[in-house]
Amino acid sequence: MRFEDAELVRQCLSGDSDAYGTLVERYQGAVYATAFYYAGRHGAAEDIAQDALLAAYRSLPRLKDPEKFAPWLKQVTTRTAANWLRRNGGRLAAETPLPYKRTVSIEDAREGPRGSTERHERLERVQKAIDSLPERYRLPVVLRYLQEMSYQEISDYTGESIAEIRGILHRASRQLRELLTEFERDLDGEQEWPSARK
């Protein structure tokens, strides 16, 4: 993958714009996930991802090691997100935190409003649990479980070894299970209403 990235970078620098298109197709999910990780809003993440991919294209001649394109792209995305949030952070409060490409599923339609609400509440608890993880764990979790990237792809993108990614995801999974169990226990406790005595 890294060699292929390096070759695509070289082709792009030689004037082949299709080569950059291939890199965009390969990494746009990871760039979006990184942007969403920082912004927490779909619209903002789309804007940041678009800005980051454009910034990376413009900065490509300054990339010293084309074999490290993926971790370099992650750094560009992180910087772009920080700059975007400094300029536009105030408007985020008015934006609805909808999940990426959320559609009404067949299950939602079949279960009706109550089932759909329960599923949405579960998704919110999962998001809250992910947000409660240590910062170093969050992006690999989002890349693995929401963007469905392989360990190799996450390693290439973050610059961490596959062994480190496996360890992070193992520890994060254990913590997520514990957090979600706590949330369920708290939720069950909230639903225990005293029965009315007649």
Of the chain, the percentage scoring pLDDT greater than 70 comes to 77
Distance in angstroms (rounded) separating the CA atoms of residues 73 and 29: 12
Above 70 in pLDDT, residue 119? no
Distance in angstroms (rounded) separating the CA atoms of residues 80 and 23: 18
pLDDT at 1: 52
User: Could you read off the pLDDT of 140-175 as tens digits, one per residue?
Assistant: 998 888 788 899 989 988 889 999 999 999 999 999
pLDDT at 62: 94
Tokens of 75: 């750094």
Above 60 in pLDDT, residue 7? yes
pLDDT at 114: 55
Nearest CA among 65, 80, 96 for reference residue 34: 80
Above 70 in pLDDT, residue 192? no
pLDDT at 198: 38
Higher-pLDDT residue of 34 and 121 is 34
Question: Any idea which residue has 């084309």 for tokens?
Answer: 66
- 50 C-beta neighbours (distance < 10 Å), count: 15
Largest CA distance in the chain: 83
Distance in angstroms (rounded) separating the CA atoms of residues 142 and 164: 16
Higher-pLDDT residue of 8 and 147 is 8
- 24 C-beta neighbours (distance < 10 Å), count: 15
> pTM of this prediction?
0.68
What is the phi/psi pair of residue 175, to 5°?
-65, -40
pLDDT at 96: 52
Tokens of 17: 């714009």
Higher-pLDDT residue of 179 and 78 is 78
* DSSP line for 83-144: HHHHHHGGGGGGS--PPTT----HHHHHHHHHHHHHHHHHHHHHHHHHHHS-HHHHHHHIII
CATH of 1-97, one of 3.30.1160.10, 1.10.390.10, 1.10.1740.10, 3.30.565.10: 1.10.1740.10
Task: Give me the CATH topology for the region 108-192.
Answer: Arc Repressor Mutant, subunit A (1.10.10)
User: Could you read off the pLDDT of 91-101 as tens digits, one per residue?
Assistant: 766 555 544 44
- The domain ranges of the chain are 1-97, 108-192
User: Could you read off the pLDDT of 51-81 as tens digits, one per residue?
Assistant: 999 999 999 999 999 999 999 999 999 999 9
Question: What is the Cβ-side half-sphere exposure of residue 117, based on CA atoms within 13 angstroms?
Answer: 3
Tokens of 189: 């406790």
